[in-house]
Amino acid sequence: MVRLLIADDEAFEREILAEIVDRHFPEEVHLSMAENGRQAVDRAILWGADILLMDIEMPGLDGIAAAKQILAQRPDCKVIFVTAYSLFTYAREAVKLGASDFVLKPVDPEEVARAVRCAIDQLQTQRQLEAMVPSVSRLETEEDGEKMPLLMAKVKTYLQHNYMLCDISLDSVSEILQINSSYFSVLFKRSFGVNFLDYLTELRMNAAKELLRDPYRSTAEVAGMVGYESPNYFARAFKKKTGLTPTEYRRGSGREDGGV
């Protein structure tokens, strides 16, 4: 089971979130609670939280500051921020932190469940990659026709669940696998027919197209949700890939573009 810590200074909000998580993940999640940012830091580190479902606006130590302290000691912890404010009030800092997701108050149970499901999938795929390390270490000295497809299937799943993280890269994945990044690059190209960055960009752009169909999401918001800290860089990458700016694509209501 994964350990999920709910941190909110409002008891009623904590109970709502706990009920949602319990209802959707009765066999997958072990819950704990924190009433403020300071308590969240202590409990997350001592208890070993895997996922944080944390309010941003808490008295004293706010959610952003608390998450920074927790991630400094538990870098693999997944953070889902809950806030009553517009998503991108805190976007720059939250994206840099590597937030897994955001949920707006008043919370929608299905949105909470989706965010938690995504975080669980991220944890599981990373753990599956890490479990492959003993086998991967032998790939550099011997060709194994059975292990290679299994490894790359795990890598593919990992990228599908983690493309939205701004710090994901060829180096970060090869580090998880404890494999030379140049060698991993060769293996990746051999398996998928494209290089790592092109594959990751394709995943991000496909996700961005779906998000842009929602007229209430800003381009900056979409950029952050698919792994880009800079909305301008995202816009350039989107146009390079599709031949359209995000705004042009949105005006076309998701029509077929000439770039993909």
In tens, the pLDDT along 143-157 reads: 555 678 888 999 999
Span(s) in the chain for CATH 3.40.50.2300 = 2-122
Mean pLDDT score of the chain: 88
Span(s) in the chain for CATH 1.10.10.60 = 199-251
- Is 0.85 surpassed by the pTM of this model? no
Q: What is the three-class DSSP state of 86?
A: coil
Query: How far apart (Å, rounded) are the C-alpha atoms in residues 121 and 103?
Result: 17
Choice among 69-73, 79-83, 106-110, 148-152 with the minimum mean pLDDT? 148-152
The mean per-residue pLDDT over the stretch 98-127 comes to 90
Residue 102 has φ and ψ, to the nearest 5°, of -135, 140
pLDDT score at 35: 96
Tell me the CATH number for domain 199-251. Answer: 1.10.10.60
Q: Please name the fold of domain 2-122.
A: Rossmann fold (3.40.50)
Choice among 66-80, 90-104, 153-167 with the minimum mean pLDDT? 90-104
pLDDT score at 218: 86
201: pLDDT strictly greater than 70: yes
**The sheet that has 2-7: what strands, in order across it?**
29-34, 2-7, 51-55, 78-83, 101-104
Q: What tokens were used for 13?
A: 């909000």
